[in-house]
Amino acid sequence: MTIFTTMSKMAADHGAINLSQGFPDFDVYPELIGLVEKYMREGHNQYAPMQGVPALREMISKKVERLYNRRYDPDREITVTSGATEALFAAISTVVGKGDEVIVLEPAYDSYVPVIRLNGGTPVFLKLKHPDYHIDWDEVADAITDKTRLIILNSPHNPTGAVLGVTDIRALTDIVSGSNLFILSDEVYEHIIFDGVRHKSMSMYPELAERAFVVSSFGKTYHATGWKIGYCLAPEKLSREFQRIHQYVTFSSITPVQLALAEIMKDTRLYQDLPVFYQKKRDLFLDMIETSRFKPLPCSGTYFLMLDYSEIADESDIRFAGKLTADYGVAAIPPSVFYSDGQDNKVLRFCFAKRDETLGQAAEVLCGI
């Protein structure tokens, strides 16, 4: 079982407040639910086209062009997938084969490495630098060999909340320029970014976009993680090969939900307002735990907050996460599971994509420890 399954089960078993797994405990937009029902009742219940329904691909294309000034052809360069995890699987499988090396920056989302190994590749692990979790680009450059095939990036970053900046983009461009390297950019939290920072999508930079698979997710944007709809943007040649994998994994995703998402995307305010919505929750949670002995680390994006517990206990993060769940009634994720060597910085990851009442209840417990 993944750590997400383990901690959510433990939270349920102990009746704990679940700030571990990354899903909201508030409702999906009512109008979006109404649109799904509408399209179901209108009979849109059969297979969608393999690449995704045309209306949704067209709306994705328009959104990306509006935000990042790059147009992806909706017929040739956009693929709708059954969640971002499927898109990550297909992208890695498209370019990684036996003997290939893949740069993985840790802590890393737990789906990357199994797919690399499944395809015969070798993950090359580099660490983001605690406590702000920045990338040491000199280390990245030194790790590149003639076997390196792919660099995996994630911004805004899960679990740390770090985001890529202009200097990161410059360093990455210098590294890949003139090479045969590909980039997989996991951007599922693209709209959850704070303090006036602009998301640096690979789509914005022609030299990076031409070699990049850009993955995003509707689940994070529209509070509907259980619907499992994501997508991948890539140049035509890469998309064509990507779809050779995708068609034999899920073939297509649920039709009425795709049509509903296409329609609701016309209201651009829903994703444009998301940074303010989640920044308020981040700041509220920070205010609520201000008197606790937990120390918050910087959080510039995602709906996760890393809290240092070193003043409270000297236990491993796995052990302390279990104790916090079983004895105190709040579940969090121990980030050491996202390191190949189990690096333990004495921090836990908390999800603040919750109702204010839920955050208040959890904060009361944390302040009492």
Q: What is the pLDDT of residues 311-329, one digit of tens each?
A: 999 999 999 999 999 999 9
Residue ranges of the chain that CATH labels 3.90.1150.10: 3-22+272-367
pLDDT for the residue 311: 97
Q: What is each CA distance from 86 to 79, 93, 247, in whole angstroms?
A: 11, 10, 11
Question: CB–CB of 233/203 below 8 Å?
Answer: yes
Give the residue carrying structure tokens 């899903």: 23
- Give pLDDT, residue 4: 86
Q: What is the pLDDT of residue 232?
A: 98
Tell me how far apart the alpha carbons of residues 101 and 20 are, in angstroms, rounded to a whole number.
31
Mean pLDDT of 58-64: 98
Which residues is 304 bridged to in the sheet? 351
At 28 the pLDDT is 95
Report yes or no: 234 and 242 within 8 Å, Cβ to Cβ: yes
Check whether 1 has a pLDDT greater than 80: no
Is the link from the previous residue into 159 a cis peptide, with omega within 30 of 0?
yes
Cβ atoms of residues 115 and 85 within 8 Å:
no
Structure tokens at 255: 């039709």
Q: Kind and range of the H or E element at 108?
A: none
- pTM assigned to the model: 0.97
For residue 156, is the peptide bond before it cis, meaning its omega torsion is within 30 degrees of 0?
A: yes
In CATH, the number for domain 3-22+272-367 is 3.90.1150.10
For 47, 83, 212, 265, the CA distances from 19, given in Å and listed in that order, are 36, 21, 32, 28
In terms of Cβ atoms closer than 10 Å to its own Cβ (0-12, 13-18, 19+), residue 314 is: exposed
Q: Tell me which amino acid residue 283 is.
A: D
**Residue 95: how many other CB atoms lie within 10 Å:** 22
- Give the count of beta carbons closer than 10 Å to the beta carbon of residue 297: 18
Span(s) in the chain for CATH 3.40.640.10: 30-267
Q: In this predicted model, what pLDDT tens digit does every residue of 199-246 receive, in sequence order?
A: 999 999 999 999 999 999 999 999 999 999 999 999 999 999 999 999
User: pLDDT tens across 5-46, in order?
Assistant: 888 899 899 999 999 989 999 999 999 999 999 999 999 999
Using a CB cutoff of 8 Å and minimum separation of 24, what contacts does 48-51 make?
48/80, 48/252, 48/253, 48/254, 48/255, 48/258, 49/252, 50/243, 50/246, 50/247, 50/251, 50/252, 51/75, 51/78, 51/79, 51/80, 51/243
Those residues with Cβ within 8 angstroms of residue 38's Cβ, 6 or more apart along the chain or in another chain:
260
Class of domain 30-267: alpha beta
Position 11 scores a pLDDT of: 86
| CA angle at 172 for the pair 166 and 177, rounded to the nearest 5° | 125
pLDDT tens string 164-208: 999 999 999 999 999 999 999 999 999 999 999 999 999 999 999
